[in-house]
Amino acid sequence: MTAATVGAPGVLQGVGVGRRAVVGPVAQVRSAPDVPPDAAVQVDGRPATPQETHAAVESAFAEVAESLRAQSAAAGGTVGDVLAATAQMAADNALRTQVLARVDAGEPPVAALDGVVDMFAAMFTQAGGYLAERVTDLRSVRDRVVARVLGLPDPGVPRLARPSVVVARDLAPADTAALDLENVLAIVTELGGPTGHTAIIAGQLGLPCVVRVTGATGLEDGVEVAVDAAAGTVTPHPGADLRAELDRRRAADELLTADTAPGATADGHAVALLANVGTPADAERLGGSGAEGVGLFRTEVLFLERTQAPTVEEQAEAYAAVLRALDGRKVVVRTLDAGADKPLAFATQPDEENPALGVRGYRLVRPHPELLRTQLEALARAQEATGTTPWVMAPMIATADEARDFAAQARAAGVATVGVMVEVPAVALRARDVLAEVDFVSLGTNDLAQYTMATDRLRGELADLLDAWQPAVLDLVAATAAAGVEAGKPVGVCGESASDPLMALVLVGLGVTSLSMAAGALPAVRYAVRRHTHERCVAMAAAARAARSAADGRAAVLALADPQVRATLGL
């Protein structure tokens, strides 16, 4: 992830997600229908009656919801989950009822939709976190309903006749899922953030993505652009030199993918290279990735967008599927990480003024102890059914006492290898005490940066503060890793920083024993680690921590990196 910077004239800057780069023609996404608020519904060429208008609006909501459900079923995985959530919004009774009430009172359908959607959008924005991220989905539903009511083409991605760079002000999940993947080279948006839906889905699909690119929608359809996710840049009319450089990088990436050996430094210091997954389908796709296991199984995907928690049987089936897919390789299961930006209809606390600091993650055991009990029981059943022993860890642990209590519950349920996430600075500072209670810890660097820098991780415009290179964040990683070395227990990283080949070297130098990331990031990280000795990694870590700023730290480490690695990976 690369923060927005100032670049060369004509080069558009943004926040890059991933490290791939491509060149291709721009395909601008169709904007919302440009119709006046008082546009009338037509039936057979005449203005509709009030009853016909009511029926048209009601039918439009139903058609949009059904269309999104169909896309969700076809997409599957993370994309399908996100689309299902958007379909649920289109089917929301409160949204539809309030719009129809205005229509029945004589308000034109477009004006009624705008009024209700604006009201809900203001509520979501004020709530912040996950709900704020849903505003794009809400407005996508509005645009699709307007188009259906007025008999206009659905807004969104045009039919792509050739491989193209999709450019939009923002992309709703429904738009992203509608992409013809055979003809999509990259995604560029003016809005969004590095942890928003577009970035997440682009990562899953392996597409280069740059968000928060001011001026992107001003690019003309068909103009050739170079999209470099590693640099966070979009370059119109790329010259021969830039094209040649990106071609070289792509060829190097293909060669790196062929190497699936276990992770280790040049002098044989082992570093387990693992993958992050959210569903059994994600795990099944790891076959040829070279992943040595799963370092983070995000189980909350099973819980989100449901009106009640999945049963023990449902959970056990999903957990067993992941264990079978990994065929004996390590699987680290994170218990339910909900609340804040991932609310649950059946467990979210009402009226939390700051949900990111509220009842989320492991703290849900306070009002809903049955959620953890059920999850641990399901995991134990999956273990028995597969004969594979998983590791389990709890998110949002803040004290050694919480770590002890979680470990006791997990072991009582029959899960022997127990750890916790290090996301709260207090745990990093007291890692020695925490490790006395558990078998391992895993650093969630996204949340650790958020809490260390007092910066909402969903605010794309603050990406510079959330930079993994911030020395204060690295100090906390170092404290945790040192405690792990002292205790002789594993310390992993499963946040975004693990997927950055240069940062991976720093983490190894700090004492981290495993790195877990999106499967597509594994080849570059494996190559970077293999080309440096452990001693050089230690020197890089010291240089990063000695810097006064994130930019200075990265520059100092880059200067110590092997020249061939810099050239091959385009660092």
Residues labelled as active-site residues: 197, 494
Residues with Cβ < 8 Å from 355, sequence gap 6 or more? 127, 128, 129, 339, 340, 341, 343, 348, 349
What sign for the dihedral angle of Cα 479, 442, 205, 344? Answer: negative
- DSSP track, 188-209: EESS--TTSHHHHHHHHHT--E
DSSP letter, residue 381: H
Which among 206, 210, 207, 171 has a CA at the least distance from the CA of 188? 210
Torsion angles phi and psi, residue 308, rounded to 5 = -150, 160
Distance CA 16, CA 227 (A): 9
Give Cα separations from 177 to 82, 132, 193, 283, 370 (angstroms). Answer: 9, 20, 18, 20, 35
Are 37 and 142 in contact, with CB atoms under 8 Å apart?
A: no
SS3 content of the chain, % helix, strand, coil (to 5): 50, 15, 35
Rounded distance, CA 24 to CA 324, Å? 40
Name the 3-class secondary structure at 512.
coil
Residues in the chain: 571
Q: Which residue has the tokens 């990031």?
A: 521
